[in-house]
Amino acid sequence: MIKKTLTAAAIAALATGGVVHAQSARDYISIVGSSTVYPFATVVAENFGRTTNFKTPKIESTGSGGGLKLFCAGVGVQYPDVTNASRRIKASEVEMCEGNGVNEIVEVKIGYDGIVMANDKKSPRFGVTRKDIFLALAKDVPDPAGGEKLVPNPYKTWKDVNAELPDWKIEVLGPPPTSGTRDAFAELALEGGCKSFDFIKAMKDKDKNMYKSVCHNVREDGAYVEAGENDNLIVQKLQANPQALGVFGYSFLEQNEDVIQGSAIDGVTPAFDSIADGDYPVSRPLFFYVKKAHIGVIPGIPEFLAEFTSEKAWGEDGYLSERGLIPMPDAERKQFANSVKDLKPLKLAAE
């Protein structure tokens, strides 16, 4: 019979720095983090709750950054056991965890996802380059008059950015800074276009902070609209404004293809195959992180991990691929499945 309650010894195992967390123990797994990973984790959690004697894990969509902040706050039943992330954990977040006694973290890559720019299906399909995206959305851009000078973004329409694009007002609805999707969009799309300018690219060797500031900072004059972590709200706004564009994960596009369509980026439209084979330029890996100190204390964590990393879930024909997750290659899935079985903690500082 599977035990659903925690023993006094198990509760004591959550003591850190000589302090025992005395509040009543949880009998369910607590998960926070990425809104992109949320639907995948939810499906796994529902299957787990339905097919085992454990309670269904409780999942909160907080964004990747927000989830890691909660996760790294400490060890104990009042802190989450797992956090989802649509980017890899940062070195600063590893340090934050360690500073709060969260010293052993198990990293699990679950697959890949593309970041899309989509618009309402009643409008023509949009197509841009990463350079277009940077010029449309960056806070500071190269002076249109020429030279190696940056100026506050003057562009009002997509046609201002590129004469071949439609004369639509630049309005892009996207995630806030706490979102891993926002981080990855900045790194893959904005920076991808930013470094097409040689004088900006040269900054990377001279002043990495300045380079990142130029390439990642988004304009704040209304052209980019933070729409929170609610992708459904973005879809509603795209339907209300056929000339607006929205930024979110490919899996969400796939779930709403009856009303929205993905834009081509650098000539490649977002699709399962184009993301899986690396042709689509704005794709990223998805992760979750597990607090090793909670394993054996909070019931069901190893069993939940086994469900998530099973071929029936994350395999090529698994139920997560039906929801839009792009599976890892066989060898990579095997590698992470083995690290989960061995509960190997993250050894190196994150990139």
Q: Return all residues near 118 (Cβ < 8 A) that are at least 6 apart.
A: 238, 245, 246, 248, 253, 260, 261, 262, 263
For residues 63 and 3, the model is more confident at 63
Tokens coding 248: 């979110």
List CB contacts of 143: < 8 A, sequence separation 6 or more. 149, 150, 151
Q: According to the model, what pLDDT value does residue 324 have?
A: 84
Mean pLDDT for the stretch of residues 144-159: 96
Question: What average pLDDT does range 64-85 have in this prediction?
Answer: 96
pLDDT value at 233 more than 90: no
Confidence at residue 90, expressed as pLDDT on a 0 to 100 scale: 92
Looking at residue 130, what is its pLDDT?
97
pLDDT tier at 148, thresholds 50, 70, 90: very high
pLDDT confidence of residue 10: 42
Ordered structural domains, the chain, with CATH: 8-112+285-342 (3.40.190.10), 114-283 (3.40.190.10)
| pLDDT in the model for residue 25 | 78
pLDDT at 41 over 50: yes
Condensed to tens digits (0 to 9), the pLDDT of residues 288-322 reads 999 999 999 999 999 999 999 999 999 999 999 98
Q: Kindly indicate the confidence band of residue 5, based on its pLDDT and cuts at 50, 70 and 90.
A: very low
Mean predicted confidence (pLDDT) in 34-42: 93
- Per-residue pLDDT, 255: 87
Is 6 or 42 the better-scoring residue by pLDDT?
42
CB within 8 Å of 138: residues ≥ 6 apart: 153, 190, 194, 214, 215, 217, 218, 219
The predicted pLDDT at position 234 comes to 86
Summarised one tens digit per residue, pLDDT across range 79-102 is: 999 999 999 999 999 999 999 999
Mean pLDDT value of segment 232-243:
89
**Residues 158 and 132: beta-carbon distance below 8 Å:** yes
Is the pLDDT score of 3 beyond 70? no
Mean pLDDT of the chain: 89
Would you say residue 236 has pLDDT above 60? Answer: yes
pLDDT for position 258 = 93
Give the pLDDT of residue 213.
95
Q: 268: pLDDT confidence band, cut at 50, 70 and 90?
A: very high
The single-letter DSSP state of residue 292 is G
Q: What is the largest CA-CA distance in the chain?
A: 74
User: How confident is the model over 99-114, as pLDDT tens digits?
Assistant: 999 999 999 999 998 9
Q: What is the pLDDT of residue 49?
A: 97
- The predicted structure's pLDDT at residue 227: 83
At residue 235 the predicted structure's pLDDT band, cuts being 50, 70 and 90, is confident
C-beta of residue 263 within 8 angstroms of C-beta of residue 118: yes
> Residue 297 and residue 224: Cα distance in Å, rounded?
44
Parallel, antiparallel, or unpaired: how do β-strands 127-128 and 264-265 relate?
parallel
Q: What is the mean pLDDT of residues 250-276?
A: 92
How many residues comprise the chain? 351
Window from 10-14, 244-248, 269-273 with minimum mean pLDDT: 10-14
Mean of the pLDDT values across residues 318-336? Answer: 91
The tens digit of pLDDT for each residue in 185-216 reads 999 999 999 999 999 999 998 999 999 999 99
Residue 14 predicted with pLDDT over 60: no
CA 322 vs. chain centroid, Å, equals: 19
Model confidence at 22, pLDDT cuts 50, 70, 90, reads: very low
- Three-state SS annotation for 173-229: EECCCCCHHHHHHHHHHHHHHHCCCHHHHCHHHHCHHHHHHHHHCECCCCCEEECCC
